[in-house]
Structure 1
Amino acid sequence: MRILLAEDDAILADALTANLQHAGFEVETAENGPVAEYLLTKQHFDIAILDIGLPMLDGLSVLKRTRASKPAQPILLLTALCDLEHRVEGLNAGADDYLTKPFDFPELEARLRALMRRAKPASGPVQQVAGLSFDREARRATIDNEAVDFSPREWSLLDLLLTQRDKVVTKDQIAQMWAGDGTRAEASRGSGDAAPGSIEVYIHRLRRKLEPSGISIRTVRGLGYLLELEPGA
């Protein structure tokens, strides 16, 4: 399991990294908010551990921005602020769990494993939905064992719809995701910015490519899009 540890206290970060690796986790570290946000945007992590007091961009801001592009990303907050108001603020911002300093490592490990158990169905690297197999780590997708090519924007859009399965994905969510996922170059080659018309073009393309899989994308008028299975899929 891959973990992003965003902690600016070098001594604590080193100690946590050593303990996490000993417990069997693969660990990537970030010492400030912008680096944490960049890594979360560009790479797959099973869980992100964010210290609220990160320099340059605080942990709550990283959390909120990550939620816009990766709604299902499991995130645990670390903080020295232990009062109820700050815990509620972190959870309301989208944190899956909250741990106050100082803490014992066995408690952190137990919380991480609990998060993995809850997140496993939706955020594993390989997701099978009807005839579609979607491998996040390898960035490979197949329908009935036949490879399917998706452009960067189609890939990120499909990823969002899959992680939000059974929930409506709004056009605002899609636009925010595209604004930070590095696919502007693709937009400049053809479909313009992330305007509603551009989003509809990509939804149309995805629908056509997903037809053989038994997956459909329903337009929920006035709200957004919902990924569904065709009857019998």
Structure 2
Amino acid sequence: MSASVGDVRGRMSSEEVRLLRWPVQREMRERFRSLKIPRILVVEAGVEAPVCDDIYEDWVRAPIASKDLQSRIDALVRRYHKSRLPFLDEGGVLRFSSRSVTLSPRQAELLDLLISRFGEVVPREALWFRLCQESGGLKTRNALDLHMMRIRQRVTPLGLTVRTVWGRGYVLDTEPEMKSVAP
């Protein structure tokens, strides 16, 4: 195998993708699975490949070229990050982690915009435009503030927060303590 077995950083911010030898490090696999740590199992020659039914896991057969291994790491990183984003279905149900909450149609419209820019500032004007567009006319300036207050109350039990960025807009993000434990 061209890449060494051990810890490999795969362009993740603070998370790590772990390389584990299979089947020698079977116990570590289970420990990392319980902690939801992304991992790639390096299957030794002549050994049957394991069933990977966890989105945080993949496997490769040794030897593997560094370029191919990096591609697998990148794919695992994309799946890992995608699973950590809130998801709003067509029925107005917001899902995050293993929890969900039902939203009103207007809350869902505003949250759809916040989710599309998860972790980034969404300008107040963009949210205001979306609110006016969906409600069929202009509303008072406080209408957006009221909707945002209600959205904050709805998303807090999911481990999400809506922060106000003074003079710019709002940011949908995970609660600070949830960043280290959210799957």
Bigger-Rg structure (1/2): 2
TM-score by length of 2: 0.45
More helix by share: 1
TM-score by length of 1: 0.36
